[in-house]
Amino acid sequence: MELRYTKVMERATQAQQFLDDKLIWMPDHLQREIGQFNVFPLFSTPSNKVNCQPYNRKGFYKISVLKGHTKFSYADKSLEFMDSALLFSNPNIPYSWELLDEEQTGYFCVFTEGFFNHFGNINDYPVFKPGNIPLFELNIEQQEEINTIFKKMIAEIESDYFYKYDAIRALVFELIHLALKLNPISSNPVDDSNASLRITSLFAELLERQFPIESPRQQIKLRYPIEFAENLSVHVNHLNRSLKKITGKTTSQFIAERIMQEAKSLLQHTDWNISEISWCLGFEELPHFINFFKKAETSTPKHFRNRHL
């Protein structure tokens, strides 16, 4: 069933109004922080085994400390650690891990980019940049130190301290700076057939994360093959060969088809003007969007909309 965008926006507005009404008693600075950060313990046993798939909340960064023999995979690379490690991930780089031990313990926290507004750009730190290895093996002392930081986060978020989110931000920065002083784990290439399938799957997931477009203020961030390759930490030619091998399509074709699908849906199910739709889909100039649309549909966006009203 196709998404009706106006209904989605109505629900989002109603939800925000509900939060505004319910949180009116709360100090402004706490209202701004709600939903921007959370922290959790992690415990996996043979009867309740946890293998991590890519974190699927849009816009969330994640830091995890894991204890237990684990295999970590992203793009065409795999990394393995025997005891404990610190892992950083951002919303644009899909990854997964597989527990190879009977048990795994640890902690993880998730937060938005907005959580650090006015405190620097979280994307400037190497642990969150594409192309860098985001996994750091820990010795016993380092693991205990990092576990203590996560325990402090849990204590802070459960407290009634007025400036607790400022204290939590400081603890997140402490984790980042600890990692920057460590050496990342070396990666191993995956065999070619599995690597192609994995890269194709991660590319498709990364592309799909940008949709659906639910507001005329929402713009896709990745539109060109080179941008996807950078986020997947592979060369653009390698990405293109992998997609061609698995799907028979080039990276550009794959992206264009998904953007075209979203363009048609927005033209049919919203009253946004064509310039707004063009911008949402990553076209800075309206004529570029019109030419793109005509190449695939042999009609202009305006004619397409009129024909399907």
Q: What is the CATH number of the domain that holds 200?
A: 1.10.10.60
Q: How many domains does the chain have?
A: 2
Which domain range does residue 202 map to? 192-308
Q: Which of 181, 204, 224 is the last residue of a domain?
A: 181
- The verdict on 157 and 287 lying in the same domain is no
User: How far is 92 from 120, CA to CA, in rounded Å?
Assistant: 19
Residue 145 lies in a domain: yes
Question: What are the pLDDT tens digits along the chain (309 aa)?
Answer: 334 344 444 444 444 454 445 444 444 544 455 668 999 998 765 555 555 554 444 578 999 999 988 888 776 677 888 899 999 988 877 777 788 887 888 999 999 988 998 888 888 898 988 777 788 999 999 999 999 999 999 999 999 999 999 999 999 999 999 999 998 876 555 555 577 888 888 898 889 888 889 899 999 999 999 999 988 888 999 999 999 999 899 999 999 999 999 999 999 999 999 999 999 999 999 999 999 999 999 899 999 999 987
- The verdict on 153 and 207 lying in the same domain is no
Residue 97 lies in a domain: yes
- CA torsion angle 130 74 250 208 (round to 10): -80
Residue 60 lies in a domain: yes
Other beta carbons less than 10 A from residue 100's beta carbon: 14
| CA quadruple 25, 215, 276, 254: dihedral sign | positive
Contacts 24+ apart (CB under 8 A), 29-33: 29/165, 30/165, 33/115, 33/165
Give the pTM.
0.63
DSSP state of 52: B
Contacts 24+ apart (CB under 8 A), 117-124: 119/169, 122/61, 123/90
Residue pair 286/274 in contact by the 8 Å Cβ criterion: yes
- Predicted local distance difference test score (pLDDT) of residue 96: 76
